[in-house]
Amino acid sequence: MFVVGACLALGAWSTFAVAEEDCEAPSNILLQTAHQSRRDGEMMYHWPNGRGRFPYFAVSEHIGPFDLNNSLSWSWHHPEGRFHTLTWGVNIDHEMNVYLSAADGFRKFDMDGKLMWERIILPRTTMNTGAIYQGKFFASDTDGGVEAVDMKDGSRVWYTKLASAICEDNGFNMVHQGVLFAAADCSPPCNYDKTCNQLVKALNATTGKELWTYKPDTAVWNFLALFPDMETVVFQDMSGKVYKLTLNGDVIWKAGGLNGTWTDGGAALGPNGMVYAVNNNHPPEGLSPVGQMDPPTMPGQVTALDVVTGDIVWQVTTPRPPNNAPAVGKVQGWEGLSLVVPLCQQVIKGAQCDVHVYNAKTGALRWVFHGPTQKHLLQAGDAEGTQTRIDSGVRSWCLPNGWSAPTIAADGVVFVGNEDGLFFALRDSDGDGRAIGVDEVRAFDTKAAFSGSSSPALAPQMVAVASCDSLFVFKN
């Protein structure tokens, strides 16, 4: 049996037909949840969190332009030059205004690219993509603080110090039901690194008051909180272990992961009652965690868990590290839900970057896109702008993931940025198991890599994305 709009993957207003068995709940329950959230103010914006909006994370009910080279509407980089700041990710409000998170601060543009305000926070810097909620923009900084600013003029509403430092990874500040989530306490121990964020913090989004603190079994990296419903939150740690908590901070379950490992990746939430986690496997004896292979082929793993119980439903081994958060939705050429997983080991010359798309229900491989190989020792835009960034008071390198986080549009096109600087629109429209040729692959050269917290953001007839140094907006 097929139903229209029953799954959240393409939004409650989707015209795609989706197999009913791919849905966890009847469509009326999902619609009720979505409508309640809209009344509560979370869905008034097109792309409020760095990974979209509840309950459609990483997917959109809108369509973006497939022909990227002929649809660029406007772009922005620092007025003194591309490399004077690092840009992380975007949000889009109900009026199609675009909010840009950058190392030196935050900016708001109207839909045509006019700068409406900017808030420069130097010498503090930020590494995460912010969030918008009920008239405020939220972001954390590497000094260990989180602040809220007024979306109208960029003025500060409140600032809360959470720890002495927040690590220089690329995570997401996410808001749900009036609760703001952030990772904090940059300190040891940390798998393969000196310091990582040890704590997950929840704050009152209205007042900035700290509500609770949770210490996971392993530190978090590129922290991303997602929300299965109105009352709970899920996230993974750097080993791929998934945690489900209430919004009050009570642990419901924790499961999965591979102890002693580290991943740049994050979790994905499906409308089919599953949460998907990623992890890297242990490196071969004598090799570092980044593999040092030529080209690197160290495998990783994707795990699907039941979001209610935490039970593992399936696991698949990936040929390369799954180093960003996947996306779950309906893709062109295939029935039911798919899991889009970007694979790549960054910062290794000759590393191959692929996108693998799996059956979200079973883990069976559906199609593959073979992306670029890393051309240089550093990724696109990093070596060229090192000294300029140092002189500007921001981090010297972007050192991003191999891919941005992927986003699935309402027509099943996958938008994703690559470390070689290419922003891709992908589809396997003929269902032959590969995305290849001009009918299925389009690319726009941004000339810079994409941070792990960069996720293409969609609004009606528009897609916006931040590379490591610029903002690009494409329109149908």
CA atoms within 13 A on the CB side of 247: 17
Angle 264-349-388 (CA atoms, 0-180°, nearest 5)? 75
Nearest to 216 by CA among 179, 244, 195, 248: 244
pLDDT computed for residue 5 by the predictor: 33
SS (H, E, C) 120-185: ECCCCCCCCECEEECCEEEEECCCCEEEEEECCCCCEEEEEECCCCCCCCCCECEEECCEEEEEEE
Region for 335 from its dihedrals, namely left if φ exceeds 0, alpha if ψ lies in -120 to 50, beta otherwise: beta
Q: pTM, whole model, 2 decimals?
A: 0.91
Average pLDDT, the chain: 89
- Can you tell me the mean pLDDT for 336-344? 97
pLDDT for 35 equals 42
Report residue 283 as tokens.
């490196």
Q: How far is CA 66 from CA 75, 363, 408, 422, 442, in A?
A: 17, 27, 12, 14, 7
pLDDT at residue 306 in the model? 98
Domains (range + CATH), the chain: 2-475 (2.130.10.10)
**What DSSP letter does each residue of 442-466 carry, written as one string?**
EEEE-SS---TT---EEETTEEEEE
Q: Which of 113-122, 159-168, 286-295, 410-419 has the lowest mean pLDDT?
A: 286-295
Q: Which is it for the CA torsion 343, 320, 310, 261, positive or negative?
A: negative
Average pLDDT over residues 272-278: 97
55 cis-preceded (ω within 30 degrees of 0)? yes
Band (168; pLDDT cuts 50, 70, 90):
very high
Distance between CA atoms of 96 and 367, rounded to whole angstroms?
33
How many C-beta neighbours within 10 Å does residue 443 have? 18
More confident residue, 137 or 28: 137
98-468-449 Cα angle (round to 5)? 125
pLDDT at 22 over 60: no
Helix (H, G, I), strand (E, B) or coil at 335: coil
Model confidence at 119: pLDDT above 80: yes
- Tens of pLDDT, residues 360-403: 999 999 999 999 988 888 899 999 999 999 999 999 999 899 99
Residue 21, pLDDT > 50, answer no
At 285, the pLDDT band (50, 70, 90 cuts) reads low
- Provide the β-strand partners of residue 107: 100, 118
- Residue 295 pLDDT more than 90? no
pLDDT(220) > 80: yes
Residues 305, 308: Cα–Cα separation, whole Å: 9
| Helix (H), strand (E), coil (C) string for 68-128 | HHHCEEEEEECCCCHHHCCEEEEEECCCCCEEEEECCEEEEECCCCCEEEEEECCCCCCCC
